[in-house]
Homo-oligomer: A and B are copies of this chain.
Amino acid sequence: MSRALKTDAESATLGAMMLFWRDGYHALGTRALESETGLTRFTLQTKYGGKKALFLKTLDLYLDLFDAYMLPSLRSGGLEGIAAWIEQRPVPDSFREALRNGCLMVNSITEFPRDDSAVNARADRYYGLLRAALVEALETARAKGELSGQIIVADAAEVLLALVVALNLSFKSKAPNADAGRIARAGAAMVRGWSA
């Protein structure tokens, strides 16, 4: 029974994610959401619970994809793997263009009030995932004997965490001084300098 949806839930959420990523939450209207994803405003209310609820769903999807596609190659590559990951993040081709809009999570942290607990919960997951992956990557490098004894894994992971976040921000800007390549090259050089 029941009439078919114009767009299945998966592709609607993915399309919405790309739009929120590009425009931000406030700047994207429900009518644009409707015309660009095939999602109906009626369905947005009855099935997704409104704009904000759908947005949080897209944030969750974003983090799922981040965890599934970006982090694995970081975790296992050793020291040179970390450096290479920073220089050229392993982004699926379909996301290459979207990444020019920075990181949906970073963008969302700045766009919502400091005490938005729903967004903070996602931010917590984001930082947690990234930090854990960096720690794992560094510990793998240490186990392989690649890492200088002077390097403290926990501290190095924090510095790399900051580096990744800053890269995500500089992607969003066209300002020449915000050139991401410049930051990435310096970061990769730093990592290579950590070798034993």
**Which residues of A are at the interface with B, using a C-beta cutoff of 8 A?**
23-24, 26-27, 100-102, 106-107, 109-111, 113-115, 117, 120-121, 123-128, 131, 150, 152, 154-159, 161-163, 165-167, 169-170, 172-178, 182-183, 185-187, 189-190, 193
Interface of A is mostly: helix
- Beta-carbon contact of A159 and B176 below 8 Å: no
* B27, B107, B123, B183: the one within 8 Å of A26 (CB): B27
- Beta-carbon contact of A172 and B121 below 8 Å: no
- Beta-carbon contact of B131 and A186 below 8 Å: no
Q: Look across to chain B and name the residue whose beta carbon is closest to the beta carbon of A132.
A: B177
Q: How far is the CB of A25 from chain B (nearest CB, A)?
A: 9
What separation, in Å, do the CA atoms of A114 and B189 have in the docked complex?
Answer: 28
* B114, B183, B193: the one within 8 Å of A174 (CB): B114
- Beta-carbon contact of A124 and B177 below 8 Å: yes
